[in-house]
Amino acid sequence: MSHKTLTIALAGNPNSGKTTIFNNITGTRQKVGNWPGVTVEKKVGTVNKFGYELKIIDLPGTYSLTPFSIEEIIARNYVLDEKPDVVIDIIDASNLERSLYLATQLREIDCNVLFALNMADLARTRGMKIDGQKLSELLDVPVVFTVGNKNEGIDALLKQTVELAESEVKRPKRRNVKYSKDIEESIIRLKQFIDEKTDGDLPYNTRWTAIKLIEDDKIVKDRVVQKTGDVAQQILQVAQTLRKHLTDRFDDDPQIVMTDERYGFIAGIIKEVQTASTKQRIDISRNIDLVLTNRFIGFPIFIFFIWAMFQLTFTLGDYPVQWIDIGVGRLSASFDRILPDNLFKDLLVNGIIAGVGSVIVFLPNILILFFCIALFEDTGYLARSAFLMDKIMHLIGLHGKSFIPMLMGFGCNVPAIMAARTLESEKDRILTILITPFMSCSAKLPVYIILAGAFFGAKAGTVIFAMYVAGIVVSIITGRLFRSTLLKGADAPFVMELPPYRVPMLKSLLIHMWDRSKIFLKRMSKVILIGSIVVWALSAFPRNVQFSKDYSAETYNVITYYEAEKKSAAEPERIELDKKQQAAVDELLRAKQAEKTEKSVIGRIGKIVAPLFEPIGIDWRGGVSLLTGFVAKEIVISTLGVLHAVQIDDESEALKNAFLAAGMTKISALAMMVFVLLYLPCLATTAAIRRETGSYRWMFLSIGYSTAIAWIMAFFVYQGGRLLGYN
């Protein structure tokens, strides 16, 4: 049985709980893409309720229908042009005055709008009592109370939405904000003139169009010109005359006057519907902020939280990593036994499984990292991190708001760079984009884990944390350099809303974690798979290699020797001889594979680039893996897995042993981690830099500068460590 489809748009201020409600309604039935023509994320979900298929659109957060940012333009254009069946305005019940500004503008459009008074529990905690029925009567809009993070009121909200969409009763025109006499007269005059000249042939409500023209809304003016043709200039001329009249009358811009009068209308509504308890209530968020944003202890607490996040990522994630690692090793061993020796077996075992398997084992670490970032975001602590970092960010001529894209860069640099578009200043935006790639994205995490785990043991979590801190420090130094040279300008003022603390829903956290992890899995199935096959092909040919010794004969001699020794040995000694025999055979196999790889195509490429990496303690295999890392940083580990061609049950442990056998030391491992941290961004990130800055110049600057800094820093780490006697 087919369901009738209703389109529902979720609108609301940022931090009103809109996305939480969207996740509650749609669950995992979401599609994430981009809005047409822009790179702003678009979320669409579907749910079957009350015999209808409800298509839910999560609009970008906006404070008004007078747009300034790309997100606000998208939200308004969707409501006006796509005309969804119902617009649900998610209102922060604990901050009614601010939220009602968007609500009054939605009412002026005469669309089917419904108010969801969200975070009703928080409003009650603060001693606020809201008369929902009275609010509904005064604004002539259905009102439903919800608590998004507790899933309260969601079914009632959807039921009311369906009833509103199917209602055929025309609502009386009592929904307009009543402006002062002069403004109302100007609106009526312009509305009548538009009606006379266009016969109502405009895409929008004519009263709303008149209001926006008097406010000098550029987008609406352009639409009027497109739709009305020859009479457009007459309409705009009348609008300009009325604007001049109102400017003279009020000695101020009409838009400012109308904004003030809307807030006056809202103040009257609030007096009617909201009462505050005389009993003193405790503002939990404010009390928590007294500690977490304290000028003395707030920053150390923030550093501790970030350190704990990476320590948790490494220690807790180590258990499932080992399970997956063993599974990959057993899968490889199974195919090795079953399949006959041929090119396909070599591709499958030493190419696909060795390459992809060496990366997929780190999926648990990445899931935990994304879960922690989602936790910071959903609790409201992410905004506090921007506030805490404000003073430090001012050292590079930015404000704390720029730190949010940088912190998002811990997950993936691509959406982090896209998030920089919310910054008002173009110079701030470009500078933030240029320093964000220094943040350690999740793709770099497997490199840190394998190297830190191999050489630093129990201190691996702290070493990984140090890498993340080093990225922040280098970004600060780079920002200061660019701000004083290429991007000179005054510091922008920092005004940012701190949302109330909320108890996050596990369901919402898991959805956020999974959305981000899907990107990693898609890269596994495409980029890393293809990259592993390419690296294998380069390492597998030519097939006929002239070895420096007869490895088969030497292996036979080793086996013969130990078998003879075991015949005359006692039982305990035989066990020890068995171990020595296996170790000697494995060493010969490893040496044979190493020589084969060294004489392959990729080995020859490695020998060419080896002089570039030798001063920073990286051998030719590491050099080749870093070159392939330009496509995607995950391929660094997958390339090492293919080049070392490890084939024992624990592939991760085998890689560690291979590093040691290749002569890598603690200090050279640290130098390689520093190089991976800082060198050129991956292909997707460089494309995002080009797209967001609109210039190849900034993209090539990012590639050249970051790679030069990476080599210099790795050189100082390696050579400095050697001078100090570290190995």
Location of each CATH 3.40.50.300 domain in the chain: 4-166
pLDDT of 279 > 50? The answer is no
- What SS3 string covers 426-472? HHHHHHHHHHHHHCCCCCCHHHHHHHHHHHCHHHHHHHHHHHHHHHH
CA atoms of 276 and 420, how far apart (whole Å)? 39
The architecture that CATH gives domain 181-276 is: Orthogonal Bundle (1.10)
Beta carbons of 426 and 402 less than 8 angstroms apart: no
Would the pTM count as exceeding 0.85? Answer: no
The pLDDT value given to residue 717: 93
Summarize the confidence of residues 659-684 as an average pLDDT: 85
The pLDDT value given to residue 358: 67
Beta carbons of 714 and 675 less than 8 angstroms apart: yes
What are 379-391's pLDDT values in tens digits? 888 778 877 877 7
Summarize the confidence of residues 91-117 as an average pLDDT: 84
What are 563-618's pLDDT values in tens digits? 888 887 777 788 888 888 888 887 787 777 777 777 888 888 888 888 999 999 88
Which residue, chain included where needed, has tokens 């005389």?
Answer: 278
Location of each CATH 1.10.287.1770 domain in the chain: 181-276
- Three-state DSSP at 502 gives coil
Question: Which token pair is 116?
Answer: 């969801």
Q: How many CA atoms lie within 13 A of 582 on its CB side?
A: 6
pLDDT confidence of 277, banded at 50, 70, 90?
Answer: low
The pLDDT value given to residue 710: 94
Which residue, chain included where needed, has tokens 């080093």?
Answer: 470
The pLDDT value given to residue 708: 94
pLDDT confidence of 341, banded at 50, 70, 90?
Answer: confident
The pLDDT value given to residue 422: 65
The pLDDT value given to residue 718: 93
> 328-340 burial by CB neighbour count: b if 16+ within 10 A, else e?
bbeebeeeeeeee
Of the ranges 356-370, 493-507, 581-595, 672-686, which one carries the lowest mean pLDDT score?
493-507
pLDDT of 145 > 60? The answer is yes
Q: Per CATH, is 4-166 categorized as 3.40.440.10? A: no
pLDDT confidence of 29, banded at 50, 70, 90?
Answer: low
pLDDT confidence of 649, banded at 50, 70, 90?
Answer: very low
CA atoms of 266 and 270, how far apart (whole Å)? 6
CA atoms of 88 and 86, how far apart (whole Å)? 6
Summarize the confidence of residues 51-62 as an average pLDDT: 86
